[in-house]
Structure 1
């Protein structure tokens, strides 16, 4: 049985890691404060023009050993290296999951609520309940002030409440659990876009993964958006990108 600890919805800022590569230093510090099950969480696809936004979560406990060699922020790894890492990360983690929110859901509820939806879906499929979530960045997008409305969209209506959250800038480069979550989310989302490619080959999603690469933008001008595009985003309709996707140029974002 998991022992839960009482904490504020957003926990304090953890001790930063001095390491140049991800380690468990931050997670161990938090575990010493009573948060036994630590969940590292990261999102991919926020800046894409097509496909889902995806959130990975990797849970570790006090017995989890050093992360498999080579695991780091998914943006710093080649596609082949990321794919090789997945089986090792799954064996290493106490538990793991990836959740998604579709392009249609992003259009309906907005990108930030879609991130919460994808993160909630990931948490709902875990076998364990984390005591604390370490979230990459400086904004807690996971904690939903109107959770009842979000639960209507979650596949598991009995999903537990969101655990306490602590944010950390560049956690995907400092915390092993967050870096591992980034790898799982990136590989799974990329695989979905490659699968979609066969139905919509003119967008070259196998190459650009739905981001605003030149070939994708040219295809949008020539063919217009399809049902897997985020139609509420102006760039999908040949206009300037919305504020939420100004960093969408990188295929590995």
Structure 2
């Protein structure tokens, strides 16, 4: 959350439900100096999943971009088919965009917040590869997880190279650019999870094609029966999985799934 000591952050805004538009983005752009009014809008998906990557989408918006394609909403409010239909239109509409991932192994190694940063940085690198660079980041939620803590001094002094962040609760419901970033991230992550299931092997037993790695009943039942796979976030407290004294899933829990595949 924005504080008085974080002088380079532009604020944190709470909003109610609205139809997404570019009103917030235009207001923020007007606060920026002329010649640098490119705004980045970012959202994440997969943070609460038990398996698969955490994924971040980012859309860059300049002053010339028009209204977003009809039907753009927070990805959670759209059917899978509606999201997929929107993707080509969003890619044509956005001046630049990117999607980045952090793997389950990275989540286990560095924690979910650092993994979010990694995914966000990767998404931003893709979006900026064409030369368009943002002067401000609009981030969904009330917490700036994008900025690395070491980039903020003891007195709140920021490195000039640090991208200022404006957080907004439920920005994906209010801001077309954030909703677009959410859709791009959701479609790409879902496709990755479907691909895992279709590749066969262990993953198909967990219903990833449908549950996308979240805690659906079929997924939980498979975890209890087979234990975690390499696609699971093994440092987490996975339901139905026994843990050793150090808090890691037991080797037996992970081996049952592998053994069943080998015996097919």
Structure-1-length-normalised TM-score: 0.82
Q: Check whether the contact 1:101–1:118 (CA below 8 A) recurs between aligned residues.
A: yes
Q: Check whether the contact 1:49–1:236 (CA below 8 A) recurs between aligned residues.
A: no
The 5-angstrom pairing of residues 173-212 of structure 1 reads 173-198=173-198, 199=200, 200-212=203-215
Displacement of 1:235:
1.4
| CA deviation profile, 1:51-105 (whole Å, cap 9, x unmatched) | 0000000011101100000001000000000000000001000100001000000
The residue aligned with 2:250 is none
| CA deviation profile, 1:35-65 (whole Å, cap 9, x unmatched) | 5111110000000000000000001110110
Structure 1 pair 162–225 and aligned structure 2 pair: CA distance change class (3 A)? farther
- Whether 2:87 is the aligned partner of 1:86: answer yes
Q: Check whether the contact 1:230–1:236 (CA below 8 A) recurs between aligned residues.
A: no
State the alpha-carbon separation in 1 of the partners of residues 100 and 161 from structure 2: 16
The residue aligned with 1:3 is none
Matched residue SS, 1:234: coil
| CA deviation profile, 1:168-212 (whole Å, cap 9, x unmatched) | 000000011100000000000000000000232100100100000
- Whether 2:236 is the aligned partner of 1:238: answer no
Displacement of 1:13:
3.7
Structure 1 pair 71–239 and aligned structure 2 pair: CA distance change class (3 A)? farther
The residue aligned with 2:108 is 107
State the alpha-carbon separation in 1 of the partners of residues 149 and 237 from structure 2: 28
State the alpha-carbon separation in 1 of the partners of residues 173 and 134 from structure 2: 21
The residue aligned with 1:229 is 232
The residue aligned with 1:144 is 148
State the alpha-carbon separation in 2 of the partners of residues 146 and 111 from structure 1: 17
Displacement of 1:122:
0.8
Displacement of 1:124:
1.3
Matched residue SS, 1:229: coil
In structure 2, stretches of 5+ residues that fail to align are 1-5, 152-159, 244-264
Displacement of 1:11:
1.4
Structure 1 pair 61–8 and aligned structure 2 pair: CA distance change class (3 A)? farther
Structure index of larger Rg:
2
The residue aligned with 2:11 is 12
Greater than 3 Å deviation, 4+ residue runs: 16-19
Matched residue SS, 2:55: strand
RMSD of the alignment, in Å? 2.1
Structure 1 pair 17–230 and aligned structure 2 pair: CA distance change class (3 A)? closer
Q: Check whether the contact 1:17–1:26 (CA below 8 A) recurs between aligned residues.
A: no
The residue aligned with 1:213 is 216
Structure-2-length-normalised TM-score: 0.79
Displacement of 1:162:
4.6
Paired positions, count: 221
In structure 1, stretches of 5+ residues that fail to align are 1-6, 148-159, 241-253
The residue aligned with 2:99 is 98
Q: Check whether the contact 1:72–1:180 (CA below 8 A) recurs between aligned residues.
A: yes
Matched residue SS, 1:125: helix
Equivalent of 1:30 in 24, 28, 31: 28
